[in-house]
Amino acid sequence: MNGKRHKSDLKWKSVARKTVVIFFLLIGCTIHVTFANTDMQKMISSWFDTKTEESVKTMEEELNQVKQQQLERLQTEIHSQMDTVDRELQVLIDQQIMERSLELEQYADEIIQHIEISPNKTNEDLQTEIDAIILQAKEDMDSLRKNDSTQTENITESEED
């Protein structure tokens, strides 16, 4: 009987060992699949994060480049407009000076025509006074022109700031 029992114990031990081995294999495979699944999630998450960072960086670089181009374009256009306005203003100032000078000369001519020469004033004295008046008027107009140019430069400088 001892022999039967011994065979039965050996058979039972063999089945128990096989069961334990199969049990550990199943647990090992399950753990491996679980860790593999976790590793895949980490890998996908890492890839997605990397791609997102690259995309954001690329977009920022492109947008900064476009922004810089548009700023340069805007500055060029502003300078062009300022140059145009400056030329137009200079033409207007020159035109006003010419018109005012002509008016002064006409006014002086009218004064000359209506002047009566008296014995104590000679024609040369009157002509000298009129020339002084015209010269003073021209100097005043040139002064006005210089002030307008200075103001235009100040306006231009403040627009550039």
Site of tokens 């400056």: 86
The predicted model scores a pTM of 0.42
Handedness of CA 82, 87, 93, 96 (dihedral sign): negative
Radius of gyration of the chain (CA): 51
Residue 96 is which amino acid?
Q
Q: Domain limits at 125?
A: 10-160
Residue 54 lies in a domain: yes
Residue 82: what pLDDT? 94
Residue 1, in any domain of the structure? no
**105, part of any domain:** yes
43 inside domain: yes
2 lies in some domain = no
Domain count, the chain: 1
Per-residue confidence band for 121, with pLDDT thresholds at 50, 70 and 90: low
Q: Is 141 exposed, middle or buried (0-12, 13-18, 19+ CB in 10 A)?
A: middle
Q: What does each C-alpha distance from 70 to 157, 160, 161 come to in angstroms?
A: 22, 17, 18
Whether residue 5 is contained in a domain is answered as no
Give residue for tokens 């020159």. 94
pLDDT score, position 117: 61
Q: 138 and 101 in contact (C-beta within 8 Å)?
A: yes
